Structure 1
Amino acid sequence: MIENVYQHFRKEERSFIDAVTGWIQECEDQYTPYLTKFLDPRQVYIIETLIGKRSELKLYLFGGYESAERKRAFICPEYFIPKQDDFKVALCEIHYPVKFAHLTHSKILGTLISTGVKREFFGDIICDGERWQFFIDESMESYVRNQIEKIGNVSIRVEERTYVDIITPIDDWSYISGTVSSMRIDTIISSIFNISRQRAKQLIEAGKVKLNWAEILRPDFEIGLLDILSVRGFGRIQIKEIEGKTKKDKWRIRFGVLFK
């Protein structure tokens, strides 16, 4: 059965598929809920696919706010309806000298990871143009808050916030449809950012491209539905929808693009 599941996904995703299969089995055997760490959109897609239409289980997702990119999944028996508190998502805000300093998503994420806490414990990092907030696993909130005093050379203070204090993040994503000859990373980057395949390849091999927040060094790696590419200096790309192939055997894709 598991081999039939594997064939629908990438080889690199098998360990995650195995983990999800274990979570599902645990819920079915013990009839108790299971809460995951924060998942990226591709992982959410996989877990939704594996749970599918299982009548005995329900899947709920929450990342702190309605349009969250990274979410925690709550797998539970059909009778169980989780409350917001069951997702154990805490909200923190970064206080810094706004008039004299400039923060970025990458600098904040790098600082958070430097505390020794893995990426899976952090949700989205959001900004309204001035204020910065991030979501974190409740169990790590106090530790991380006490570890961080600076982001780069900027002195900061991290404070816990309630959900009524959530800012409205700026959403500059553009949505475009287009065709590409393949789903290779270098092809996608070249097409969206209007640069040569060779330039795209150089960016990848120089470690300037991340796939779902992890460094990827293979230009020929083929991406799939809901994958997110981050290209330093250019922006981000998400595969929002794969609409099929054209008569000329090209992929027809709907992209989400966040230009830097």
Structure 2
Amino acid sequence: MSIYQHFRKEEHAFIDQIISWRDQVKSEYRYKLLDFLNPREKTIVQSVIGTKDEVKCAFWGGYEEAERKRAILYPDYYEPSADDYELVLFKVNYPAKFIQLEHRQVLGALMGLGLKRSKFGDIIINGSNVQFIAAAQIADYIKLNFNQVGKTHITLEEILFDELTLSEQKGYEQTITVSSMRLDTILAEIFHLSRQKVLPYIKNQLVTVNWKIIEDPAYLCHEGDVISIRGFGRSKINKIDGMTKKEKWRLIVEKRK
């Protein structure tokens, strides 16, 4: 049975890369550190590596509940430590009395430096306290170049992970019914928009499924998918709970800002 049949076609290239890394660990008999992965990529790595092979995998993102984590593929004799993940934690200092920085602003500013999203982990905002986690290899570059978020001038401070302050993630479940599993249909129902209003967000690359931009309104969603519209928040299809008498799909979704 092929591993590929369990995944979408657009994920096959990533699977190939994981298999290549696994083979490298086998042949060189030393661990391989990967970049930050989103939860979907983490699931794929776990599925491909499995638990019975001589190569194992472990994940760490700076704290247990981290959404984005780096992965280590390692031979069975090795036991990874926190230092092996090569993470740094930054605090963003800014005039918090006059402005409140948002997650999307910090993310946009970091991406504006030419950095790949895979090079930094969670952005944690707790009130006026803004912190983010990055790969150690780009720490010096960030220190030199990250000095502004939008029109707000900032300074950076590298701090210990003991000083990490976590924000409370508030979400709630709701049940919706949809006529199909098309992306535009589900978005419209979750975010209380018409399908006509949803289409421009999709076409303008403001919609992601499992952290990947999707431009096809007819894209078919599945149980476990995480869907977001920029500016509206994020939702996860926790469960496909069968069909109604009117032959509509009943979905249990979790909404989160």
Q: TM-score, structure 1 length as denominator?
A: 0.89
Q: 2:8 and 2:152 mapped to 1: Cα distance? A: 41
Q: Deviations over 1:53-104 (max 9, x none)?
A: 3242222111111111111111112221111011111111100000011211
| Correspondence for 2:221 | 223
Moved more, 168-177 or 119-128: 168-177
- Provide Cα deviations, 1:124-179, integer angstroms capped at 9, x if missing partner: 10111110111101100121121011111111001111111101213122234555
Report if aligned partners of 2:173, 2:255 keep a CA contact under 8 Å in 1. Answer: yes
SS in 2 for 1:230: strand
Q: Tell me how large the CA RMSD over aligned residues is.
A: 2.1
Aligned counterpart, 1:207 = 205
- Aligned pair 1:103/2:106, yes or no? no
Distance 1:55 1:17, change over 3 A: closer
1:34 — aligned with what? 32
Aligned to 1:195: 193
1:51 and 1:252 map into 2 onto residues whose CA distance is 33
Q: Counterparts in 2 of 1:54-65, with a 5 A limit? A: 54-65=52-63
Partner AA of 2:79 in structure 1? I
Aligned counterpart, 1:8 = 6
Show the counterpart of 1:157: 155
Select between 153-162 and 176-185 the one with higher mean Cα deviation. 176-185
Counterparts in 2 of 1:214 and 1:160: CA distance versus 1, 3 Å: same
Letter in 1 for 2:220: E
Unaligned runs of 5+ in 1: none
Gaps of 5+ in 2: none
Distance in structure 2 (CA, Å) of the matches to 1:176 and 1:58: 37
Taking the TM superposition and a 5 Å limit, the aligned residue runs for 1:60-99 are 60-99=58-97
- Distance in 1 (CA, whole Å) between partners of 2:52 and 2:222 is 24
How does 1:238-257 map onto structure 2 within 5 Å? 238-239=236-237, 241-243=238-240, 245-246=242-243, 251=249, 253-257=251-255
Residue 209 of structure 1, CA deviation: 1.6
Q: Determine helix, strand or coil for the equivalent of 1:98.
A: coil
Instruction: Give the C-alpha shift of residue 210 in structure 1.
Output: 2.7
**Matched positions, count:** 256
Q: Percent identity?
A: 38
